[in-house]
Amino acid sequence: MQDKNISPLREFFHSKYVWIFLAMDVIAIILVAVIIANHASKVSIINFNVSPVDATISVNGDTHYKNGQYDVKPGKYEIAISHDGLETKTISIDLAARDYTNVATFLKQSNDNFEFYELMENNQSYRKLKEIASEEDNITIDKDTSAQKFIANFEQKMSIMNVLPIKGYVYADPTVNMSTGGFVIENGQSRKECNKSTCLVVRYHGKGYEGEVINQIKKAGYDPNDYQLVYERYAK
């Protein structure tokens, strides 16, 4: 006979079936936790740090990879990195459980040619190239250090931007005096006519400015041949 003094909740927990179900739930939670922990202990990580930034990264034939970090199973991986106009690189890695591999590398043209990175539309890839070549150990996964010399030379070329436009030297400023020859040199990175990041825009009026532009660049200690010069005539 049921004791009327026992509350429904207490009666519920007195049932042996309830305890069986609770025990099964606890066991299920423990099993899930064990499976997750076991899976986590076997996961390896590949981090891609590649230039150009829009390069195609193929891992065992799968091309959905981009720059970034991926969890993968331990094992052997054949990685191919490619981009139109640049030489493809292939890298083989063998990952043990819980391994971390940083695939830091870059592509270039044949014979260590890096002209691709001088183009303005590839400026983001140049910054990534510089980041990779400037890492603390200064070594890519394929031990390729050829970018370092290019970056040093290119940065020297780009340093002319620190002194140009030559604000202290304006030859018969065409915005003030339209009756004489004159020019102003400006950083041209935002100009559509520029296809290199070393582009300078010469805004001029009159005649005889070409030789003086070259002279001013030389006086600043740079080679005019290293720059793309875009000329833009002032309208009267």
Q: If pLDDT is split at 50, 70 and 90, which confidence band does 133 have?
A: confident
Res. 54: pLDDT tops 80: yes
Q: Which residues of 210-234 are buried (b: 16+ CB within 10 A; e: fewer)?
A: eebbeebbeebebeeebbbbbeeee
Top mean pLDDT of 121-130, 174-183, 223-232 is at 121-130
- Residue 78 parent element (H or E): strand 75-82
Q: Percentage of the chain surpassing pLDDT 90?
A: 28
This prediction's pTM: 0.63
End-to-end Cα distance, the chain? 111
Residue in the block written with tokens 């202290």? 168
